A and B are shown apart, each in its own frame.
Chain A
Protein backbone atom coordinates (compact mmCIF):
# COMPACT_ATOMS: atom_id res chain seq x y z
CA UNK A 1 0.00 0.00 0.00
CA UNK A 2 1.20 3.42 -0.84
CA UNK A 3 1.64 5.84 1.99
CA UNK A 4 1.07 9.52 1.62
CA UNK A 5 3.78 11.80 2.95
CA UNK A 6 2.25 14.22 5.46
CA UNK A 7 2.62 17.85 4.52
CA UNK A 8 4.72 19.67 7.08
CA UNK A 9 2.88 22.55 8.63
CA UNK A 10 5.95 24.66 9.31
CA UNK A 11 7.60 27.46 7.39
CA UNK A 12 10.39 26.37 5.04
CA UNK A 13 13.92 27.30 6.03
CA UNK A 14 15.24 30.34 4.24
CA UNK A 15 17.44 29.62 1.19
CA UNK A 16 16.81 25.86 1.13
CA UNK A 17 17.31 25.78 -2.63
CA UNK A 18 20.64 27.50 -2.99
CA UNK A 19 22.82 26.56 -0.08
CA UNK A 20 25.69 29.00 0.23
CA UNK A 21 28.82 26.88 0.12
CA UNK A 22 31.24 27.71 2.87
CA UNK A 23 34.57 28.98 1.64
CA UNK A 24 37.38 28.23 4.08
CA UNK A 25 39.59 30.92 2.56
CA UNK A 26 39.83 34.69 2.69
CA UNK A 27 42.56 37.15 1.79
CA UNK A 28 43.29 39.63 4.54
CA UNK A 29 45.78 41.54 2.37
CA UNK A 30 49.13 43.13 3.11
CA UNK A 31 52.57 43.45 1.59
CA UNK A 32 55.86 41.90 2.67
CA UNK A 33 59.39 42.54 1.40
CA UNK A 34 62.82 41.01 2.01
CA UNK A 35 66.07 42.44 0.66
CA UNK A 36 69.37 40.68 1.31
CA UNK A 37 72.66 42.57 1.55
CA UNK A 38 76.26 41.41 1.83
CA UNK A 39 76.09 40.57 5.54
CA UNK A 40 72.52 41.52 6.47
CA UNK A 41 68.91 41.18 5.41
CA UNK A 42 66.04 43.63 5.79
CA UNK A 43 62.53 42.17 6.13
CA UNK A 44 59.43 44.36 6.23
CA UNK A 45 55.67 44.02 6.37
CA UNK A 46 52.72 46.35 6.93
CA UNK A 47 50.27 45.87 9.82
CA UNK A 48 46.91 46.38 8.11
CA UNK A 49 44.34 43.58 8.18
CA UNK A 50 41.36 43.81 5.82
CA UNK A 51 38.19 41.87 5.06
CA UNK A 52 36.68 42.89 1.74
CA UNK A 53 36.55 46.68 1.68
CA UNK A 54 36.71 46.93 5.49
CA UNK A 55 39.86 47.51 7.48
CA UNK A 56 39.30 45.14 10.41
CA UNK A 57 42.43 46.16 12.29
CA UNK A 58 45.33 48.55 11.82
CA UNK A 59 47.76 46.72 14.05
CA UNK A 60 48.16 43.03 13.22
CA UNK A 61 51.76 41.90 12.76
CA UNK A 62 52.80 39.80 9.75
CA UNK A 63 56.50 39.68 10.61
CA UNK A 64 58.00 37.30 13.17
CA UNK A 65 61.49 36.66 14.35
CA UNK A 66 62.09 32.89 14.16
CA UNK A 67 65.69 32.81 15.45
CA UNK A 68 68.38 35.40 16.18
CA UNK A 69 69.38 35.10 12.50
CA UNK A 70 66.09 34.57 10.73
CA UNK A 71 62.88 36.52 10.22
CA UNK A 72 59.70 35.46 8.40
CA UNK A 73 57.08 37.77 6.88
CA UNK A 74 53.78 36.42 5.52
CA UNK A 75 50.75 37.91 3.79
CA UNK A 76 47.52 36.21 2.77
CA UNK A 77 44.96 34.72 5.16
CA UNK A 78 45.55 35.84 8.74
CA UNK A 79 44.24 32.65 10.39
CA UNK A 80 46.57 30.50 8.26
CA UNK A 81 49.48 32.89 8.86
CA UNK A 82 48.99 32.75 12.64
CA UNK A 83 48.82 28.94 12.50
CA UNK A 84 51.90 28.65 10.31
CA UNK A 85 53.90 31.02 12.52
CA UNK A 86 52.83 29.15 15.67
CA UNK A 87 53.76 25.79 14.11
CA UNK A 88 57.19 26.99 12.96
CA UNK A 89 57.99 28.48 16.38
CA UNK A 90 57.11 25.16 18.04
CA UNK A 91 59.23 23.10 15.60
CA UNK A 92 62.17 25.48 15.99
CA UNK A 93 61.90 25.24 19.78
CA UNK A 94 61.92 21.43 19.55
CA UNK A 95 64.96 21.60 17.27
CA UNK A 96 66.73 23.82 19.80
CA UNK A 97 66.07 21.34 22.63
CA UNK A 98 67.20 18.37 20.52
CA UNK A 99 70.32 19.95 19.02
CA UNK A 100 71.40 22.51 21.58
CA UNK A 101 71.50 25.29 18.99
CA UNK A 102 69.22 27.32 16.79
CA UNK A 103 68.29 26.01 13.34
CA UNK A 104 70.28 27.65 10.55
CA UNK A 105 68.46 30.03 8.20
CA UNK A 106 69.04 27.76 5.19
CA UNK A 107 67.49 24.83 7.10
CA UNK A 108 64.52 26.97 8.16
CA UNK A 109 64.01 27.81 4.48
CA UNK A 110 63.74 24.09 3.68
CA UNK A 111 61.56 23.46 6.75
CA UNK A 112 59.12 26.15 5.65
CA UNK A 113 59.00 24.66 2.13
CA UNK A 114 58.26 21.18 3.54
CA UNK A 115 55.69 22.55 5.99
CA UNK A 116 53.80 24.31 3.18
CA UNK A 117 54.00 21.26 0.90
CA UNK A 118 52.69 19.12 3.75
CA UNK A 119 49.39 20.86 3.20
CA UNK A 120 49.58 20.60 -0.60
CA UNK A 121 45.94 19.50 -0.93
CA UNK A 122 44.48 21.99 1.59
CA UNK A 123 47.11 24.70 1.42
CA UNK A 124 47.95 27.40 3.89
CA UNK A 125 46.81 30.53 2.04
CA UNK A 126 50.04 32.34 2.88
CA UNK A 127 52.64 34.10 0.76
CA UNK A 128 55.95 34.10 2.53
CA UNK A 129 59.28 35.82 2.32
CA UNK A 130 62.04 34.61 4.59
CA UNK A 131 65.19 36.54 5.32
CA UNK A 132 68.27 36.37 7.48
CA UNK A 133 71.94 35.54 7.45
CA UNK A 134 73.23 32.05 6.60
CA UNK A 135 75.94 30.03 8.39
CA UNK A 136 78.66 32.01 6.60
CA UNK A 137 77.19 35.30 7.77
CA UNK A 138 75.99 36.17 4.26
CA UNK A 139 72.62 37.90 3.92
CA UNK A 140 69.93 35.79 2.26
CA UNK A 141 66.29 36.01 1.22
CA UNK A 142 63.88 33.26 0.18
CA UNK A 143 60.71 33.53 -1.86
CA UNK A 144 57.80 31.04 -1.69
CA UNK A 145 54.50 30.15 -3.27
CA UNK A 146 51.55 28.91 -1.17
CA UNK A 147 52.40 25.20 -1.63
CA UNK A 148 56.10 25.31 -0.82
CA UNK A 149 58.03 25.97 -4.04
CA UNK A 150 60.89 28.23 -3.06
CA UNK A 151 64.14 29.76 -4.21
CA UNK A 152 66.94 31.78 -2.70
CA UNK A 153 66.94 35.28 -4.19
CA UNK A 154 68.72 38.58 -3.51
CA UNK A 155 65.34 40.25 -2.88
CA UNK A 156 61.66 39.37 -2.90
CA UNK A 157 58.17 40.70 -2.24
CA UNK A 158 54.75 39.12 -1.74
CA UNK A 159 51.15 40.02 -1.12
CA UNK A 160 48.62 42.52 -2.42
CA UNK A 161 51.30 45.15 -3.10
CA UNK A 162 53.65 42.78 -4.91
CA UNK A 163 52.71 44.05 -8.39
CA UNK A 164 53.59 47.57 -7.29
CA UNK A 165 56.77 46.79 -5.38
CA UNK A 166 58.53 44.08 -7.40
CA UNK A 167 59.40 46.28 -10.44
CA UNK A 168 60.79 48.87 -8.03
CA UNK A 169 63.01 46.20 -6.47
CA UNK A 170 64.11 44.96 -9.92
CA UNK A 171 65.12 48.47 -10.87
CA UNK A 172 66.63 49.73 -7.65
CA UNK A 173 68.13 46.59 -6.07
CA UNK A 174 69.09 44.52 -9.13
CA UNK A 175 69.68 47.70 -11.22
CA UNK A 176 67.62 46.16 -14.07
CA UNK A 177 67.32 48.27 -17.26
CA UNK A 178 70.11 50.53 -16.05
CA UNK A 179 73.02 49.37 -18.27
CA UNK A 180 75.40 52.12 -17.19
CA UNK A 181 74.84 51.76 -13.49
CA UNK A 182 77.23 49.56 -11.54
CA UNK A 183 76.00 47.41 -8.69
CA UNK A 184 77.71 48.49 -5.50
CA UNK A 185 77.43 47.17 -1.97
CA UNK A 186 74.85 49.09 -0.03
CA UNK A 187 74.61 49.53 3.72
CA UNK A 188 71.79 48.15 5.86
CA UNK A 189 70.75 51.72 6.61
CA UNK A 190 70.29 52.50 2.90
CA UNK A 191 68.28 49.31 2.36
CA UNK A 192 66.08 50.04 5.39
CA UNK A 193 65.26 53.46 3.97
CA UNK A 194 64.61 52.03 0.53
CA UNK A 195 62.31 49.29 1.87
CA UNK A 196 60.44 51.89 3.90
CA UNK A 197 59.97 53.99 0.74
CA UNK A 198 58.81 50.92 -1.18
CA UNK A 199 56.18 50.18 1.48
CA UNK A 200 55.07 53.81 1.44
CA UNK A 201 54.63 53.59 -2.34
CA UNK A 202 52.62 50.37 -2.04
CA UNK A 203 50.45 52.04 0.61
CA UNK A 204 49.82 54.91 -1.76
CA UNK A 205 48.12 52.77 -4.42
CA UNK A 206 47.16 49.45 -2.76
CA UNK A 207 44.09 49.76 -0.51
CA UNK A 208 45.12 46.63 1.42
CA UNK A 209 48.51 48.05 2.44
CA UNK A 210 48.95 50.77 5.04
CA UNK A 211 48.74 51.89 8.68
CA UNK A 212 52.21 50.89 9.93
CA UNK A 213 55.28 49.16 8.59
CA UNK A 214 57.51 46.90 10.66
CA UNK A 215 61.12 46.69 9.50
CA UNK A 216 63.45 44.04 10.91
CA UNK A 217 67.15 44.10 10.08
CA UNK A 218 69.03 40.84 10.57
CA UNK A 219 72.81 40.74 10.97
CA UNK A 220 75.14 38.14 12.49
CA UNK A 221 74.76 40.12 15.73
CA UNK A 222 70.99 39.71 15.89
CA UNK A 223 67.78 41.45 14.88
CA UNK A 224 66.97 45.16 15.11
CA UNK A 225 63.30 46.11 15.00
CA UNK A 226 61.90 49.40 13.69
CA UNK A 227 58.37 50.61 13.17
CA UNK A 228 57.08 53.50 11.06
CA UNK A 229 53.70 55.00 10.21
CA UNK A 230 52.12 54.57 6.79
CA UNK A 231 48.99 56.32 5.57
CA UNK A 232 45.85 55.59 7.61
CA UNK A 233 43.37 56.03 4.73
Chain B
Protein backbone atom coordinates (compact mmCIF):
# COMPACT_ATOMS: atom_id res chain seq x y z
CA UNK B 1 0.00 0.00 0.00
CA UNK B 2 1.29 3.43 -0.84
CA UNK B 3 1.44 5.37 2.37
CA UNK B 4 3.55 8.25 1.12
CA UNK B 5 0.60 10.45 0.08
CA UNK B 6 2.39 11.36 -3.14
CA UNK B 7 5.52 12.53 -1.32
CA UNK B 8 8.92 11.30 -2.45
CA UNK B 9 10.16 9.96 0.85
CA UNK B 10 13.72 9.66 -0.48
CA UNK B 11 13.96 13.41 -0.86
CA UNK B 12 15.07 15.44 2.14
CA UNK B 13 12.17 17.02 3.98
CA UNK B 14 13.48 20.53 3.52
CA UNK B 15 14.86 21.12 0.03
CA UNK B 16 15.83 24.75 0.43
CA UNK B 17 12.51 26.10 -0.76
CA UNK B 18 9.78 27.14 1.53
CA UNK B 19 7.63 24.13 0.68
CA UNK B 20 7.75 20.64 -0.81
CA UNK B 21 4.92 21.96 -2.96
CA UNK B 22 6.35 22.90 -6.38
CA UNK B 23 4.94 26.37 -6.99
CA UNK B 24 6.57 26.64 -10.43
CA UNK B 25 4.26 23.92 -11.76
CA UNK B 26 1.23 25.94 -10.78
CA UNK B 27 2.11 29.34 -12.16
CA UNK B 28 4.14 30.49 -9.15
CA UNK B 29 7.83 31.34 -9.31
CA UNK B 30 10.65 30.01 -7.19
CA UNK B 31 13.96 31.88 -7.22
CA UNK B 32 16.81 29.59 -8.13
CA UNK B 33 20.31 30.97 -7.39
CA UNK B 34 22.36 31.47 -10.56
CA UNK B 35 26.11 30.80 -10.95
CA UNK B 36 27.15 34.47 -11.12
CA UNK B 37 24.97 35.67 -8.26
CA UNK B 38 27.06 37.36 -5.58
CA UNK B 39 27.52 35.23 -2.50
CA UNK B 40 25.84 36.68 0.55
CA UNK B 41 26.27 35.98 4.22
CA UNK B 42 25.45 37.59 7.52
CA UNK B 43 28.57 39.16 8.98
CA UNK B 44 26.70 41.00 11.69
CA UNK B 45 23.05 41.24 12.67
CA UNK B 46 21.12 44.36 11.56
CA UNK B 47 17.56 44.30 12.92
CA UNK B 48 17.73 42.58 16.26
CA UNK B 49 15.55 41.46 19.14
CA UNK B 50 17.01 41.34 22.64
CA UNK B 51 16.61 38.69 25.36
CA UNK B 52 14.21 35.76 25.44
CA UNK B 53 13.40 34.31 28.87
CA UNK B 54 11.85 30.95 29.67
CA UNK B 55 11.21 28.83 32.73
CA UNK B 56 9.64 25.43 33.32
CA UNK B 57 6.76 25.15 35.77
CA UNK B 58 4.72 22.24 37.08
CA UNK B 59 2.77 21.18 33.99
CA UNK B 60 4.35 23.38 31.35
CA UNK B 61 6.80 26.03 30.23
CA UNK B 62 6.52 29.83 30.24
CA UNK B 63 8.43 31.85 27.65
CA UNK B 64 8.68 35.61 27.34
CA UNK B 65 10.15 38.34 25.13
CA UNK B 66 9.55 42.02 24.52
CA UNK B 67 8.11 43.32 21.23
CA UNK B 68 10.98 45.61 20.21
CA UNK B 69 13.23 45.25 17.19
CA UNK B 70 16.32 47.46 17.25
CA UNK B 71 18.33 48.83 14.31
CA UNK B 72 21.61 49.43 16.08
CA UNK B 73 20.62 51.80 18.87
CA UNK B 74 17.42 52.89 17.09
CA UNK B 75 14.17 51.43 18.43
CA UNK B 76 13.04 50.53 14.88
CA UNK B 77 9.88 48.35 15.23
CA UNK B 78 7.92 48.40 18.46
CA UNK B 79 5.21 45.80 17.94
CA UNK B 80 6.85 42.69 16.54
CA UNK B 81 6.15 39.29 18.04
CA UNK B 82 9.26 37.19 18.56
CA UNK B 83 7.44 34.14 19.91
CA UNK B 84 6.02 31.75 17.34
CA UNK B 85 3.79 28.68 17.62
CA UNK B 86 4.97 25.70 15.56
CA UNK B 87 2.37 23.13 16.58
CA UNK B 88 0.19 22.08 19.53
CA UNK B 89 3.30 20.94 21.42
CA UNK B 90 5.95 23.48 20.47
CA UNK B 91 6.64 27.21 20.53
CA UNK B 92 9.90 29.02 19.77
CA UNK B 93 11.27 32.43 20.72
CA UNK B 94 14.18 34.25 19.16
CA UNK B 95 16.76 36.85 20.01
CA UNK B 96 19.13 38.20 17.37
CA UNK B 97 18.60 38.94 13.67
CA UNK B 98 14.87 39.04 12.98
CA UNK B 99 15.05 38.26 9.25
CA UNK B 100 16.93 35.05 10.08
CA UNK B 101 14.17 34.23 12.57
CA UNK B 102 11.55 34.74 9.85
CA UNK B 103 13.52 32.32 7.66
CA UNK B 104 13.68 29.82 10.53
CA UNK B 105 9.94 30.02 11.29
CA UNK B 106 9.06 29.46 7.63
CA UNK B 107 11.48 26.54 7.41
CA UNK B 108 10.25 24.91 10.62
CA UNK B 109 6.58 25.51 9.75
CA UNK B 110 7.19 23.54 6.55
CA UNK B 111 9.16 20.80 8.27
CA UNK B 112 6.44 20.43 10.89
CA UNK B 113 3.71 20.33 8.21
CA UNK B 114 5.61 17.83 6.03
CA UNK B 115 6.21 15.59 9.01
CA UNK B 116 2.58 15.83 10.03
CA UNK B 117 1.44 14.79 6.55
CA UNK B 118 4.07 12.09 6.09
CA UNK B 119 3.25 10.48 9.44
CA UNK B 120 0.47 7.92 9.03
CA UNK B 121 -0.76 8.50 12.55
CA UNK B 122 -0.89 12.24 11.92
CA UNK B 123 1.01 12.88 15.11
CA UNK B 124 2.29 16.43 15.54
CA UNK B 125 6.10 16.60 15.54
CA UNK B 126 7.75 16.23 18.92
CA UNK B 127 9.43 19.29 20.51
CA UNK B 128 12.60 17.22 20.98
CA UNK B 129 12.71 16.36 17.26
CA UNK B 130 12.16 19.99 16.26
CA UNK B 131 14.92 21.06 18.64
CA UNK B 132 17.26 18.42 17.27
CA UNK B 133 16.50 19.41 13.66
CA UNK B 134 17.00 23.10 14.40
CA UNK B 135 20.30 22.39 16.18
CA UNK B 136 21.63 20.61 13.11
CA UNK B 137 20.51 23.42 10.78
CA UNK B 138 22.19 26.04 12.98
CA UNK B 139 25.37 23.93 13.12
CA UNK B 140 25.45 23.34 9.35
CA UNK B 141 25.08 27.06 8.71
CA UNK B 142 28.01 27.84 11.03
CA UNK B 143 30.04 25.23 9.12
CA UNK B 144 29.30 27.15 5.91
CA UNK B 145 30.55 30.34 7.59
CA UNK B 146 27.04 31.69 6.95
CA UNK B 147 25.34 31.55 10.33
CA UNK B 148 21.75 32.26 11.26
CA UNK B 149 22.38 35.08 13.74
CA UNK B 150 20.01 33.97 16.46
CA UNK B 151 19.73 32.37 19.83
CA UNK B 152 16.52 30.34 19.61
CA UNK B 153 14.61 29.05 22.62
CA UNK B 154 12.40 26.00 22.02
CA UNK B 155 9.64 25.38 24.57
CA UNK B 156 7.35 22.36 24.46
CA UNK B 157 4.95 20.17 26.34
CA UNK B 158 3.97 16.68 25.24
CA UNK B 159 2.68 13.55 26.98
CA UNK B 160 2.94 15.20 30.37
CA UNK B 161 6.56 16.18 29.80
CA UNK B 162 7.95 19.71 29.61
CA UNK B 163 10.72 20.57 27.17
CA UNK B 164 12.96 23.62 27.23
CA UNK B 165 16.06 24.01 25.08
CA UNK B 166 18.25 26.67 23.50
CA UNK B 167 20.37 26.76 20.30
CA UNK B 168 22.72 29.54 19.23
CA UNK B 169 24.36 30.59 15.95
CA UNK B 170 27.28 28.18 16.48
CA UNK B 171 25.03 25.19 17.05
CA UNK B 172 25.70 25.17 20.80
CA UNK B 173 22.61 23.58 22.31
CA UNK B 174 21.41 22.54 25.75
CA UNK B 175 18.30 21.84 27.76
CA UNK B 176 17.65 23.33 31.15
CA UNK B 177 14.92 24.20 33.65
CA UNK B 178 15.30 27.89 32.84
CA UNK B 179 16.93 29.77 29.97
CA UNK B 180 17.72 33.40 29.23
CA UNK B 181 19.41 34.60 26.04
CA UNK B 182 21.65 37.60 25.41
CA UNK B 183 21.69 40.27 28.09
CA UNK B 184 19.11 38.25 29.98
CA UNK B 185 21.74 35.58 30.61
CA UNK B 186 23.59 38.18 32.72
CA UNK B 187 20.66 39.94 34.37
CA UNK B 188 17.62 37.63 34.44
CA UNK B 189 19.31 34.24 34.77
CA UNK B 190 20.52 34.79 38.36
CA UNK B 191 16.95 35.78 39.31
CA UNK B 192 15.59 32.68 37.57
CA UNK B 193 18.14 30.41 39.28
CA UNK B 194 17.21 31.92 42.61
CA UNK B 195 13.45 31.60 42.20
CA UNK B 196 13.28 28.29 40.32
CA UNK B 197 11.77 25.22 41.96
CA UNK B 198 10.28 22.16 40.23
CA UNK B 199 6.81 22.72 41.70
CA UNK B 200 6.53 26.32 40.50
CA UNK B 201 2.92 27.05 39.49
CA UNK B 202 1.99 28.57 36.14
CA UNK B 203 0.96 31.83 37.82
CA UNK B 204 4.25 32.00 39.75
CA UNK B 205 6.24 31.33 36.56
CA UNK B 206 4.44 34.08 34.63
CA UNK B 207 4.90 36.48 37.57
CA UNK B 208 8.61 35.57 37.72
CA UNK B 209 9.15 36.26 34.02
CA UNK B 210 7.25 39.54 34.32
CA UNK B 211 9.62 40.60 37.11
CA UNK B 212 12.68 39.54 35.09
CA UNK B 213 11.47 41.49 32.04
CA UNK B 214 10.94 44.57 34.21
CA UNK B 215 14.47 44.34 35.63
CA UNK B 216 15.80 43.88 32.09
CA UNK B 217 13.89 46.93 30.90
CA UNK B 218 15.53 48.99 33.63
CA UNK B 219 19.07 48.05 32.62
CA UNK B 220 19.07 46.72 29.01
CA UNK B 221 19.03 49.73 26.68
CA UNK B 222 17.70 47.46 23.88
CA UNK B 223 14.77 46.17 25.95
CA UNK B 224 11.17 47.42 25.90
CA UNK B 225 8.16 47.67 28.22
CA UNK B 226 5.74 45.99 25.81
CA UNK B 227 6.11 42.25 26.34
CA UNK B 228 4.54 38.89 25.60
CA UNK B 229 4.52 36.18 28.25
CA UNK B 230 3.39 32.94 26.61
CA UNK B 231 2.79 29.49 28.09
CA UNK B 232 2.63 25.95 26.78
CA UNK B 233 1.40 23.17 29.01
CA UNK B 234 -1.48 21.00 30.21
CA UNK B 235 -3.98 23.61 29.08
CA UNK B 236 -2.45 23.90 25.59
CA UNK B 237 -0.63 26.73 23.87
CA UNK B 238 -1.24 30.30 24.92
CA UNK B 239 0.43 32.91 22.72
CA UNK B 240 -0.43 35.93 24.85
CA UNK B 241 -1.21 39.36 23.46
CA UNK B 242 1.41 42.00 24.30
CA UNK B 243 1.02 43.65 27.69
CA UNK B 244 2.59 46.74 29.19
CA UNK B 245 5.00 46.42 32.12
CA UNK B 246 4.38 48.58 35.18
CA UNK B 247 7.57 50.51 35.87
CA UNK B 248 8.66 52.81 38.67
CA UNK B 249 11.25 55.49 37.91
CA UNK B 250 10.83 57.42 41.17
CA UNK B 251 14.42 56.43 42.01
CA UNK B 252 15.44 59.11 39.51
CA UNK B 253 14.43 61.80 42.04
CA UNK B 254 17.08 60.70 44.52
CA UNK B 255 19.99 60.34 42.11
CA UNK B 256 22.57 63.07 41.55
CA UNK B 257 25.35 63.97 39.16
CA UNK B 258 23.40 62.57 36.21
CA UNK B 259 21.25 65.28 34.64
CA UNK B 260 23.31 68.28 35.76
CA UNK B 261 20.42 69.75 37.70
CA UNK B 262 21.46 68.29 41.01
CA UNK B 263 25.06 68.04 42.18
CA UNK B 264 24.51 66.42 45.57
CA UNK B 265 22.07 64.04 47.23
CA UNK B 266 19.03 65.88 48.63
CA UNK B 267 19.30 66.33 52.38
CA UNK B 268 17.02 64.13 54.45
Using a CB–CB cutoff of 8 Å, the interface residues on chain A facing chain B are 13-15, 19-22, 24-26, 28, 49, 51, 54, 56-60, 77-79, 82-83, 122
Contacts and interface: CB of A to CB of B under 8 A. Distances in A.
Contacts of B172: 26, 28, 49, 51, 56, 77-79
A21 B43 contact: yes
Main secondary structure of the interface of A (DSSP, over half): loop
Given A26-B172, A79-B171, A79-B172, A15 B139 contact: no
28 contacts: A14-B72, A15-B44, A15-B72, A20-B43, A20-B44, A22-B43, A22-B147, A24-B143, A24-B147, A24-B170, A28-B172, A51-B172, A51-B185, A54-B185, A54-B186, A56-B174, A56-B185, A57-B174, A57-B175, A57-B176, A60-B174, A78-B172, A78-B173, A78-B174, A79-B173, A83-B139, A83-B171, A122-B143
Contacts of A15: 44, 72
A77 B168 CA distance: 13
B166 to A, nearest CB: 8
List 8 A-B pairs, minimum CB-CB distance, nearest first: A79-B171, A14-B72, A57-B174, A19-B43, A20-B44, A79-B172, A78-B172, A60-B174
Interface residues of B, number: 25
B50 to A, nearest CB: 15
Interface string B116-148: 000000000000000000010001001101010
Contacts of A19: 43-44
Contact of B139 (A21, A25, A79): A79
Contacts of A78: 172-174
B174 A24 contact: no
B200 interface: no
Contact of A79 (B41, B43, B142): B142
